[in-house]
């Protein structure tokens, strides 16, 4: 029986789907990052890989695993994948778009509101026994009603956040992509801006672009310097898109007002990181899509994709469809 390697325990339904489709599963159950050479060894004797977690799928990996008929990622982001190498080795790769957009947008919304009202810091002050008498001038946050939400990367997740912000707080939506999102312009009155205009006009700036060479380190001293002093910076996309020391300096010097991060660089974040002690900062441990419902859907989508690849069918969520032209 052909075998699929699954690099973390995922939902029973998804595993059962693979098994009922006629494939054996090997599940790596340890919760730690797998060194690439270990993953290469684990892939021996397997024809499919269901990759959960930040496994690097590059030239070295693909040239060592030529027997793989397909790789299904259980994530929408594919910044760890070298698509040119995948094409040259004829390996189709799939991701899990759409099913996680609502949950991830909720995480961005949660961070936006939690930062605006200093919620995580307030929680910590109570735990430290520092809740004192009422002081009308203390712990003041910011209101979101009627403010401007800037979305960098108004795609699937960015659009869901924009809808929520518009519905909850009548926020004005501005955005920057490489291409205009006409659906969002029609539906939400979203206004297209250049990147610099987006920096200058956003009260909340939420990042939803993919991590690429173009977006890596995009939020540095220069970018933070162009933002408003009351601005809240939210990143639920990838930690490498912001420069952490520059973000810390921007917060310390009042260049911007606050920050909410679901993604950091590196991950996990060090427990002594000074950002964790700041009043206007909220950090989450990369839980963007972490709801029972969404993880179930992501696991099932990844399972359906790997089964399709092993049957010689096109993976429904293939990210390199051009690979089929050369097969």
- Report, as residue numbers or ranges, the catalytic residues: 238, 267, 286
Question: Under the criterion CB under 6 A, does residue 286 sit at the interface with ligand NAP?
Answer: yes
Contact characters 50-89, ligand NAP, x per CB under 6 A: --------------------------xx------------
* 3 φ/ψ angles, rounded to the nearest 5 degrees: -120, 145
Residue 174's SS3 state is: strand
Question: Under the criterion CB under 6 A, does residue 194 sit at the interface with ligand NAP?
Answer: no
Task: Calculate the alpha carbon distances from 216 to 133, 200, 207 in Å.
Answer: 45, 20, 12
Give the residue nearest to ligand NAP (CB).
155
Which residues 244-263 are close enough to bind ligand NAP by CB under 6 A?
Answer: 262-263
CB of 168 within 8 A of CB of 192?
A: no
**C-alpha closest to that of 93 among 54, 59, 61, 48:** 48
* 120 φ/ψ angles, rounded to the nearest 5 degrees: -70, -40
Question: Under the criterion CB under 6 A, does residue 177 sit at the interface with ligand NAP?
Answer: yes
Maximum Cα–Cα distance across the chain: 71
Cα gap 308→292, rounded to integer Å:
24
Interacting stretch for ligand NAP, rule CB under 6 A, among 132-140, 150-158, 220-228, 306-314? 150-158
Question: Under the criterion CB under 6 A, does residue 208 sit at the interface with ligand NAP?
Answer: yes
Cα gap 316→121, rounded to integer Å:
43
Shortest Cβ 306–ligand NAP spacing (Å): 19
Q: Which of residues 29, 132, 179, 326 is near ligand NAP by CB under 6 A?
A: 179
Give the neighbor-by-neighbor strand order of the sheet with 204-207. 191-192, 172-176, 148-152, 204-207, 232-235, 258-261, 281-283
* 97 φ/ψ angles, rounded to the nearest 5 degrees: -75, 170
For residues 57 and 100, which CB has a smaller minimum distance to ligand NAP in the complex? 100
Q: Which of residues 70, 155, 258, 260 is near ligand NAP by CB under 6 A?
A: 155
Q: Which of residues 215, 255, 304, 320 is near ligand NAP by CB under 6 A?
A: 215
Q: Which of residues 147, 228, 238, 242 is near ligand NAP by CB under 6 A?
A: 238
For residues 138 and 194, which CB has a smaller minimum distance to ligand NAP in the complex? 194
Q: Which of residues 128, 178, 186, 271 is near ligand NAP by CB under 6 A?
A: 178
Shortest Cβ 235–ligand NAP spacing (Å): 9
* 39 φ/ψ angles, rounded to the nearest 5 degrees: -65, -40
Structure tokens at 199: 């920096």
Question: Under the criterion CB under 6 A, does residue 114 sit at the interface with ligand NAP?
Answer: no
Question: Under the criterion CB under 6 A, does residue 239 sit at the interface with ligand NAP?
Answer: no
What is the bridge-based pairing of β-strands 148-152 and 93-94?
A: unpaired
For residues 65 and 159, which CB has a smaller minimum distance to ligand NAP in the complex? 159
Residue 104 exposed, middle or buried by CB count within 10 Å (0-12, 13-18, 19+): buried
Tell me which residues touch ligand NAP (CB under 6 A): 76-77, 97, 100-101, 104, 153-158, 176-179, 208-211, 214-215, 236-238, 262-263, 286, 288-289
């Amino acid at each position: 029986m052909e075998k699929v390697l699954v690099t973390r325990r995922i939902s029973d339904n998804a595993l059962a789907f693979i098994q009922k489709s006629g494939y054996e599963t090997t599940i790596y159950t340890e919760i730690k990052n797998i060194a690439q050479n270990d993953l290469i060894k684990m892939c021996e004797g397997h024809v499919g890989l269901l990759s959960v977690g930040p496994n690097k799928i590059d030239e070295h990996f693909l040239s060592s695993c030529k027997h793989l008929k397909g790789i299904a990622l259980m994530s929408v982001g594919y910044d760890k994948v070298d698509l040119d190498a995948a094409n040259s080795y004829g390996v189709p790769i799939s991701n899990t778009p759409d099913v996680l957009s609502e949950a991830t947008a909720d995480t961005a919304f949660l961070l936006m509101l939690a930062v605006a009202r200093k919620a995580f810091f307030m929680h910590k002050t109570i735990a430290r026994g520092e809740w004192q008498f009422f002081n009308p001038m203390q712990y003041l946050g910011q209101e979101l009603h009627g403010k401007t939400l800037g979305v960098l990367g108004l795609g699937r997740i960015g659009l869901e956040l924009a809808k929520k912000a518009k519905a909850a707080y009548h926020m004005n939506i501005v955005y920057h992509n490489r291409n205009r999102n006409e659906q969002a312009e029609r539906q939400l009155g979203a206004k297209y801006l250049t990147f610099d205009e987006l920096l200058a006009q956003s009260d909340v700036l939420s990042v939803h672009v993919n991590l690429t060479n173009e977006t890596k380190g995009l939020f540095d001293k220069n970018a933070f310097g162009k933002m408003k002093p009351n601005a809240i910076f939210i990143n639920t996309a990838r930690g490498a898109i912001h420069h952490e020391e520059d973000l810390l300096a921007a917060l310390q010097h009042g260049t911007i007002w606050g920050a909410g991060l679901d993604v950091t660089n590196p991950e996990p974040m060090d427990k002594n990181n000074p950002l964790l002690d700041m009043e206007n900062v909220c950090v989450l441990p990369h839980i963007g899509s972490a709801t029972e419902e969404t993880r179930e859907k992501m696991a099932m989508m990844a399972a359906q994709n790997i089964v399709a690849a092993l049957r010689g069918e096109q993976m429904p969520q293939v990210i390199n469809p051009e690979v089929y032209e050369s097969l």
